[in-house]
A and B are shown apart, each in its own frame.
Chain A
Amino acid sequence: MTRDEFRQIAANGLWKQNTSLVQILGLCPLLAVTTNLVNGVMLSLATIIVMAVSGVAVASLRNLIPHEIRIPVFILIVASLVTVVDLLFNANLHQLYLVLGIFIPLIVTNCIVLARVEAYANKNPPLQSLFDGVFMGTGMLWTLALLGGLRELIGNGTLFSGIDMVIPGLHPLQLLPANYPGFLLAMLPPGAFIVLGCLIAWKNWIEARAAARRQRRTPEPVAAGGCH
Chain B
Amino acid sequence: MDFITPPYLTQNVSVRRVMLQVLAALIPGIATYAWLLGPAVLVQIAIATATALLAEAAMLKLQDKPLGPFLGDGSAIVTAWLIALAFPPLAPWWLIVVGTAFAIVVAKHLYGGLGQNPFNPAMIAFAVCIVSFPALMSQWPPVNAQATFVDQLVLVFGQGPRLDALSGATPLDTLKTALKLGEGSTSVATVTADAAVFGRIAGHGWEWVAAGYLLGGIWLWGRKVIGWHVSMSFLAGMTIISGALWLWNPAHFANPLFHLFSGGSMLGAFFIVTDPVSGCTTPRGKLIFGFSAGLLAYLIRVFGGYPDGVAFAVLLLNLCVPIIDLYTQPPIFGMKK
Residues in A lying within 8 Å of B, measured CB to CB = 179, 181-185, 188, 194, 197
Contact = CB atoms under 8 A, between A and B. Distances in A.
A134 to B, nearest CB: 35
A181 B91 CA distance: 13
A184 B132 contact: yes
B196 to A, nearest CB: 29
Interface residues of B, number: 9
A185 B159 contact: no
A194 B106 contact: yes
The B contact surface, by secondary structure, is: helix
B35 interface: no
Nearest to B159: A179
Contact of B132 (A179, A185, A197): A185
B133 interface: yes
Contacts of B133: 181, 184
Nearest to A186: B132
B136 A185 contact: no
Nearest to A185: B132
B58 to A, nearest CB: 15
A184 B106 contact: no
Contact of B128 (A179, A182, A185, A197): A185
B98 interface: yes
A100 to B, nearest CB: 25
Given A184-B133, A185-B131, 13 more contacts: A179-B159, A181-B133, A181-B136, A182-B132, A183-B98, A183-B132, A184-B131, A184-B132, A185-B128, A185-B132, A188-B131, A194-B106, A197-B110
Interface string B101-117: 00000100010000000
Contacts of B98: 183
A180 to B, nearest CB: 10
Contacts of B131: 184-185, 188
B113 to A, nearest CB: 16
A183 B98 CA distance: 10
B132 to A, nearest CB: 4
A197 B128 CA distance: 17
Contacts of B110: 197
Contacts of A181: 133, 136
15 contacts: A179-B159, A181-B133, A181-B136, A182-B132, A183-B98, A183-B132, A184-B131, A184-B132, A184-B133, A185-B128, A185-B131, A185-B132, A188-B131, A194-B106, A197-B110
Nearest to A155: B132
Nearest to B135: A181
Contacts of A182: 132
Contacts of A185: 128, 131-132
Nearest to B129: A185
B160 to A, nearest CB: 12
A208 to B, nearest CB: 14
Leading 7 A-B pairs by shortest Cβ distance? A184-B132, A185-B132, A183-B132, A185-B128, A185-B131, A181-B133, A184-B131
A127 to B, nearest CB: 44
A185 B131 CA distance: 7
A16 B132 CA distance: 35
Nearest to B131: A185
Contacts of B128: 185
A197 B131 CA distance: 20
Interface in B231-260: none
Contacts of A179: 159
A73 to B, nearest CB: 42
Nearest to B136: A181
Interface in B181-212: none
A204 to B, nearest CB: 14
A184 B131 CA distance: 7
* Residue of B131, B132, B133, B159 with most chain A CB atoms under a 10 A cut-off: B132
A201 to B, nearest CB: 9
A197 B133 CA distance: 23
Nearest to B94: A181
* Residue of A185, A194, A197 with most chain B CB atoms under a 10 A cut-off: A185
B234 to A, nearest CB: 26
